[in-house]
Amino acid sequence: MKKLLIATGGGDCPGLNAVIRGICKRAKKEKDWEVYGSREAFNGVYSDPPEIIKLTKKKIAGIHVKGGTILKTTNKADPLHFPVKDENGNVKFVDRTNVLADRIKELGFDAVINIGGDGSQKISQALFKHGLNIVGVPKTIDNDLSATDMTFGFQTAVQIASDSLDKLVTTAESHHRVMIMEVMGRDAGWIALHTAISGGAEICLIPEIPYDIKKLVEKIQSRYDKGRGFVIIVIAEGAKAKEGTIVSHAGDEGSRHVRLGGVAYQLTQQLKDAGITAEIRETVLGHVQRGGTPSAFDRVLASLFGVKAFEMVANGEFGKMVSFKNNDFIAVPLEEATKDYNFVKKDSFIVKGAKDLGITFGD
Ligand code: F6P
């Protein structure tokens, strides 16, 4: 029997379990493969004894409708670099990619499927260079990976955000308020943009289009002047103001992650400082966008990503990532997949279209 190891890394995302189930179901057809899962990304491989579970029929039954990951995950530790103290007590990070690759082989695994975002796929690429048979599956609710048209989890996140926006509209209307809703999107504004279009927001602020506070004030003022007594603003957590009015994130010290909730409150302050007298309220959606059951679309996308990933393993197509392109499932080299990000382009049709629908970006 040949042995396959699955790992889920980075932040969790609705659809991870559907990928796991898709891989196992497709593997079953081959008869000569057994599928295992490592606990919490590659931590299970490093544990002594290893924390690796066999993914039996019973373990994967019906999991495609469940959010999160049955294998657990982490975005805290980098499995390829370990802290080591030098003779002066200073901490240095040492590359141990070969240690992880060798350990996986020593445990008897013939191949690995690594499900994760940009960081995880860079890990896949490094392990592949160290001779590991590996296939990547792209995952992120932010939809910011360039080699695929869509990542699973994104549609679910947009649906959750859009449903929340609908609820904010009725209360904004009743109180004549400015409502600010902060959504996820550290580097890319896809969730904010789709939510703003879907919910009919007046203002959408995203990392790719720095905003001018004066333009936002004009828009808000004109809404109130025309008697349309409320304003809905969707802001991505990574949105920035133009020079001179910089929003600095309330960052988590020592962490690469921005602490959610920074920008919504700072925007309120900026609007007040710029003369907005209407009442302003903030809603920070946070991790509800990543939780719960995946949408039907994400279940389909994730399940087929799983099937395709196993097919690549069976065909020996390693060093590649599964991708959804032009309505088809294809394999792209990991090197290409990790080269770029998928950012919202200022002059794209979606941005122009949003403007035509009455959305202001503040540019
Ligand atoms: O990468 C996805 C993401 O949702 C980002 O938008 C956000 O900054 C981050 O995860 C937060 O993750 P965590 O709180 O798990 O560190």
Domains of the chain: 2-152+294-337 (3.40.50.450), 154-291 (3.40.50.460)
Given the residues 32, 86, 102, 142, the one annotated as active site:
142
Alpha carbons 33 and 80: distance in angstroms, whole number = 27
Nearest to 196 by CA among 320, 33, 63, 354: 354
Among 8, 73, 158, 184, which residue has the most ligand 1 atoms within 8 Å of its CB, making it the best to mutate? 184
Longest CA span, the chain: 73
Q: What is the ipTM of this complex?
A: 0.95
pTM over 0.90: yes
Cis peptide before 49 (omega within 30 of 0): yes
Q: What local confidence, expressed as pLDDT, does residue 86 receive?
A: 87
DSSP sequence for 194-260: HHHHHHT-SEEEBTTB-B-HHHHHHHHHHHHHTT---EEEEEETT--BPTTSPPPP-PPTT-SSPPT
Q: Mean pLDDT in runs of 10 for the chain (363 residues)? A: 97 97 97 97 96 98 98 90 89 92 97 96 96 97 95 98 98 97 95 98 97 96 93 95 58 45 87 96 95 98 98 98 98 94 97 98 97
Q: Which positions ≥6 away from 118 have C-beta within 8 Å?
A: 140, 144, 145, 338, 341
Among residues 159, 170, 97, which one has the least CA distance to residue 134?
Answer: 97
pLDDT at 315: 97
Instruction: Using alpha carbons, select from 49, 64, 52, 54 the residue that is nearest to residue 18.
Output: 64
Taking CB atoms and a 6 Å cutoff, what residues make up the pocket around ligand 1?
11, 75, 117, 140-142, 184-186, 237, 257-258, 290
DSSP, res 120: H
pLDDT at position 262: 79
Q: Indicate the length of the chain as a whole number.
A: 363
